[in-house]
Amino acid sequence: MFDEHGHWIVIQQGMNDELGNARRYHWPMERSSLIVEPHSAILCNTRLKSALDMTSKRSDGNRRACVDIVREGPRRLRRLIAEAPGPQTTLERWIGGEAPRHLIMPRSINWEALRRAYEFQPRDYEELISIRGVGPSTVRGLALVAELIYGEEASWRDPVKYSFAFGGKDGVPFPVERRAMDEAIHILREGIGEARLGREEKLRAIERLRRCIPPSMRDRVRP
């Protein structure tokens, strides 16, 4: 989306059919990188115990290793995958820590895309993932080889932080929960009322709150 001043923001949404929920990603122009933590928000009502996050700063070494692997050619990558150990667990399983993390190679890797990447010789991770055909499975496969063979760990911490969702208007991923929406409106309305603001500031804050509410429910928030 663009405004009249040329400012932009990208809002993407992905649906997880298996879990029955959606994630929304916000990419504002203020972020200096499109690769390293470019999102101002990742919204979802579910946080996974383990999720590969190649945008994390903690994945920096893994990203560099992925580029090096691709530059060496698909033939060597095939050998590395063949040499990769099976699913890994950690000692935390035996000492009562977090659930063990499994590193499982994806079933499909786009070898034709990796051949094109080798011929192109990407200089960095941004150039690598810009190559047509380098999709989620290929990214995951490269990340696992970089971690299992080269010891460059990727971040497996789910970057989801919070969600404003009360449900979808079409019932996807679930019907709107009006009671939860009413409670949220009440809490925000009380917070504005108790804030140390002048009358005009409070009225403007309430009006902004009303604009976030569906028209059919706006009567519940009045100045």
Same domain assignment for residues 77 and 139: yes
Domain final position from 166, 191, 210: 166
Domain boundaries, position 10? 1-47+160-166
Q: Is 203 part of any domain? A: yes
Claim to verify: residue 105 and residue 92 sit in the same structural domain: yes
What does the pLDDT read at residue 167? 65
The token pair at 108 is 């499909």
Q: Are residues 147 and 60 in the same domain?
A: yes
Residues 24, 112, single domain; the answer is no
Give the residue with greater pLDDT, 44 vs 125.
125
Please report whether residue 171 resides in a domain: no
Q: What does the pLDDT read at residue 92?
A: 42
Question: Is residue 122 located within the same domain as residue 64?
Answer: yes
Q: Would you call 128 helix, strand, or coil by DSSP?
A: helix
Residue 155: pLDDT band by 50, 70, 90 thresholds?
very high
C-alpha–C-alpha distance, residues 147 and 202, integer Å: 52
Residue bearing the bigger pLDDT, 50 or 94:
50
Q: Report angle CA 45, 49, 53 to the nearest 5 degrees.
A: 85
pLDDT surpasses 70 at 91: no
Tell me the per-residue pLDDT of 171-216, one tens digit each, with 9 for 90 and over.
655 677 778 777 777 777 787 778 878 888 877 887 777 776 666 5
- Mean pLDDT in the chain? 80
For residue 98, the model assigns a pLDDT of: 43
Report the domain count for the chain.
3
| Euclidean distance between CA atoms 66 and 145, whole angstroms | 8
Contact 114/108 with Cβ under 8 angstroms? no
| SS3 assignment, position 77 | helix
Q: With a cut of 90, say whether residue 116 has pLDDT above it.
A: yes
Q: Examine the domain organization and report whether 30 and 65 are in the same domain.
A: no
Q: In what order do the strands lie in the sheet with 41-43?
A: 9-16, 21-28, 41-43
Q: In Å, what is the CA distance from 130 to each residue of 34, 162, 166, 182?
A: 11, 29, 35, 44
* 94 inside domain: yes
Distant-in-sequence, close-in-space partners of 6: CB < 8 Å, separation ≥ 6: none
pLDDT tens per residue across span 144-153: 999 988 999 9
Is the confidence at residue 14, as pLDDT, over 50?
yes
